[in-house]
Each structure stands twice: as C-alpha cells, then as structure tokens.
Structure 1
C-alpha cells in the first residue's frame, strides 16, 4: 500500500478510535453491568457500544474489507484477504470496571499478514497513540503531538519492565531477575503497555499466556514497530495474523528491539512456558 493511502487510513481510524472511546466513557460514571464471557473475562455494555461504533464507521469508510473484532463473531471472511481490520473495542475491561483509567480502544490493520497500521486510544486520559509502517508513530494529547520513538538503552540492568497491574506473574519475575532488571512499572491494557515502550518509557513487556488474541496485539504491534520496537512470541517468532485460530498460543514479547534476542534467550533459559 502506498504511503499516502496508509496515512489516509491512519487519520480516519484515529478518529474512529477516539469516537469509540467517547462512547465508552458514557458508561464510565454509571453503574457498570458486568457479563462474563468466560472465567476472568468480563464484558460490559461499553464494550458492545464501542464495538458497534467502530464496525459502523469501518464499514462506512472501508466497505467490503474484512473485520475481526473481539466482540463480534468471527465469520472467517478474513481468511485469504490481503487487508483485515482487527479490533479490540475495549482493551482492559477489568481496568474499566475498576475505573482506574487504564483501558483503551485498539484498532489495527493487517496487510498481507503483517500488522502495518495501529491506533490505541486511552479515552480516560484523552490520549491517542498511532502509527504505521514506513510513516512513523505519534502520541497526541492535550499538550499537542509528539513523535514516538523507543529508547536506546543497551545495558540489561538499566531496562525498565512494564507488567500487568491486575496480576503478578512469577514466570515474568524470574526473567526480570535473570536480566538484572530493577525497575518495573505496572499498567492495564496490552496497548498501553506497548505504548510505554514505543514512547521510550519502558523497554520490556512479556505476556506468557496462550490466551493472547490477534486483537490484543495487532494495533499495538504496528505502533511499536513504527516506533522502532519489536513484537514476537515467546520463542522469538513473528506473530501470525493469517491463521484460522485467533489466539497467539505462544504468548507475546514486546521490547524496544535493542536487546530483543537477549530477552528471548532469558525466557528460554528460565524455561518459561505459556499457560
């Protein structure tokens, strides 16, 4: 896809993500009705409303293009398509329920099997992260627009890890200790964790779960890559966006790229397996 077309799409999808976030915020100060899709996997009316907003606007602007969304049934129409939109209308639903602001709207575009465009909007903070392959990555907030670029730290002990706010993972902590990392920051939402790496505020995020889905990774991966970072699975292999199954069964690892192989080796040395 030509850069001009990619940029056009990026600007449209940025507006869509912000609009969906505004819809989600309409439910933020109300009593939140929670449903459970499965154990530990909540969904709210805000998830559904944001999803409807995104799907309607994607259809309006990109009619006929395939969409994979967490809150819609996968009809498999995406298989074999060159372009697929991948949507998580509310990433960090648990954080939304807790009202701590650490949730996001995430939209990504897969082009020929690769995450090439992404938007992560944090509506509670009026922030939006966005980027695309060959164009770059940016962060917009009340104080203006800023370029996203990963840090250049190359000493393992100086790396800063970002980890889940909702639960402690002993496997990740073993890797942290092996690398000699002392500083750890906690955040909700996969997208917001990856945004911290893209912004040069952290360098390592490890998610050793077999329940990571394409919609968890696509938008963040595109932004992180455009900012100079790297996202793979726990074995260091590229994430697959063309499979029938939507889950990344080998989890994900996001880094600033400078020491990605060393992080993967530490994961292997600690015999970390997904659960």
Structure 2
C-alpha cells in the first residue's frame, strides 16, 4: 500500500486552498452564480465549480492518473474508475444550500479509497478555519491554520439517553422523523453539511447521525472522507443492518438507512432504526 502519511501531507494544502476559494466567494456574494442542476440534484454555484477545478487539477498534478482515478460531484463520471484500486472521491462543497443561505455550515470533502473502502480523508470547514483529517490506522485530527494538529475522539457516552443527535435542517422525511421520535436521546442539534455532522461526532460534540433515503440518497462523495475521520476517531458508520458502506461502484447513491455514531450503542441504534421504519416500509 502507498504511504498514506506522505499522501496526506501533500493533500492538506489542497484542502486548505479549496476552502480559501469557497471563502472568497462567500465573502463576495455578488460574484456568486447559482444554477439549478435539476431533479433531486439541487443547486451548483460558481464557488463549487471553482473549488472543483482547483482540487482536481492539484490532485492530478501531484498524483497523476496512472495509479489513481478521480470521482467528483461536479465532474462528469468516467467509469474507467471502476478499473482502479485507488480512487479519489471529492465533494468540492458539501452543503451548497447552506452556503447560499449563509449559515457558515459548508465543507470541502477529499477522500481516498482503496478497493472500495476509505483509507484517507480530509474535511475542511472554511468558515471555521478548521481541517479535519483521518488516516486508516493513524487516528483522526483537527488542524488549525497555523498547522497545529490535535487528536480528536468521539465522546465516551454509553447510554442513548445521554446522546446528542445531529440532523439536517432540510433533508428529512417521514421515516427519519419516526426514527428520531422513537430514539431515546438527550438532545437534537442541526448542522448543515454531512462533513460538519461527522466532524461533530468525531470530536465529541454530538453522538448520532441517521439518514434514510427517499426519492434520492446521499452519494459516495458525501460519506467517503467523513467516514474515515469518524472511524479513526473511534466511531462507526454502517447501514442499519450493520453492513459497511462500499465506494466506487457503478451506483453512486448510498441507499437505505445509514447510521453514524460514537460506537457505544451502535447496534442498538441500528435496531431501533429498523424497527421504527419497518411498518412504514410494508
């Protein structure tokens, strides 16, 4: 396997640079162009596209295309990626709707998979000037602009009644509402991007996240980078049947009920989720 620490050291500046591009547009909203992509795809902005071009050009210049394939939300898919063991999976801006609404809750996702599982991930939260990162077997860290890194860890809460659920403000459906109603919890907070939600769990500020697909579903680039940060911080991410997520398949959507947690009650949360929506799905 390639040296993941070396890859991370080369990728960190790219994540910071993409965040800087987003903040330039965020601070000068008069320059922001917004286009509706159609269907369930939502909006894309000139900030998304500028960050996407920067990330892809920098990654390809640094790592080439012989050993690595590239999959990004804002670039047409090339299924030649299916022939590669190493695939970069990128969301240049997770939380575009929050960016447009100016909630400060958007993120850059840069993940690297090996044989369909994430091994390295970076989630930049530009409005907070923070960079979360994780490497398989090497832990998870938060980095500030001065380069100072501190390890992060999930909370040690072991009772569901103590746990804080982090959820979306907008991507909610009846099935998810039913699960959240039946799930014992201490509180529920709203965070915009999936990267921000997973960072909150990975750093101990929240404990549970649940997604239930409807007409559409989150895609590889939503979960890839955040997953390795969460799991390296001690958390878990699975489908509600406890199976792991698989990346770089022909189908990019992650269908079904997906649960992220601090790991201490993960099986119980998955069981509650399945039981809560079973009558609805019949």
TM range (shorter): over 0.9
Residues 219-241 of structure 1 deviation map (CA, whole Å, 9 limit, x = unaligned): 00011111111111233221111
Residues 98-124 of structure 1 deviation map (CA, whole Å, 9 limit, x = unaligned): 111100000000011111110000111
Q: Match for residue 130 of structure 1?
A: 133
Separation in 1 of the partners of 2:248 and 2:197?
24
Task: Give the conservation status (yes or no) of the 8 Å contact 1:80–1:242.
Answer: no
Q: Match for residue 270 of structure 2?
A: 264
RMSD: 1.7
* Deviation of 1:145 (Å): 2.4
Separation in 2 of the partners of 1:198 and 1:178?
24
Choose which of 108, 113, 117 in structure 1 pairs with 2:111.
108
Task: Give the conservation status (yes or no) of the 8 Å contact 1:208–1:251.
Answer: yes
User: What does 1:241-260 align with in structure 2 at a 5 Å threshold?
Assistant: 241-260=247-266
Q: Match for residue 161 of structure 1?
A: 165
Task: Give the conservation status (yes or no) of the 8 Å contact 1:212–1:252.
Answer: no
Separation in 2 of the partners of 1:225 and 1:165?
24
Q: Match for residue 213 of structure 1?
A: 219
Task: Give the conservation status (yes or no) of the 8 Å contact 1:212–1:251.
Answer: no
Q: Match for residue 91 of structure 1?
A: 94
User: What does 1:62-211 align with in structure 2 at a 5 Å threshold?
Assistant: 62-64=63-65, 65-141=68-144, 144-209=148-213, 210-211=216-217
**TM-score, with length taken from structure 1:** 0.93
| Residue segments in structure 2 that go unaligned for 5+ positions in a row | none
Q: Match for residue 46 of structure 2?
A: 45
| Residue segments in structure 1 that go unaligned for 5+ positions in a row | none
Separation in 2 of the partners of 1:14 and 1:184?
32
Task: Give the conservation status (yes or no) of the 8 Å contact 2:167–2:188.
Answer: yes
Task: Give the conservation status (yes or no) of the 8 Å contact 2:220–2:248.
Answer: no
Task: Give the conservation status (yes or no) of the 8 Å contact 1:161–1:185.
Answer: yes
Separation in 1 of the partners of 2:16 and 2:150?
17
* Deviation of 1:169 (Å): 4.2
Q: In 2 relative to 1, CA 142–67 (structure 1 residues): closer, same or farther, beyond 3 Å?
A: closer
Separation in 1 of the partners of 2:198 and 2:20?
22
Q: Match for residue 33 of structure 2?
A: 33
Separation in 1 of the partners of 2:172 and 2:70?
33
SS of structure 2 residue aligned to 1:225: helix
Separation in 2 of the partners of 1:169 and 1:126?
32
Q: Which one is further off, 206-215 or 49-58?
A: 206-215
Separation in 1 of the partners of 2:10 and 2:174?
41
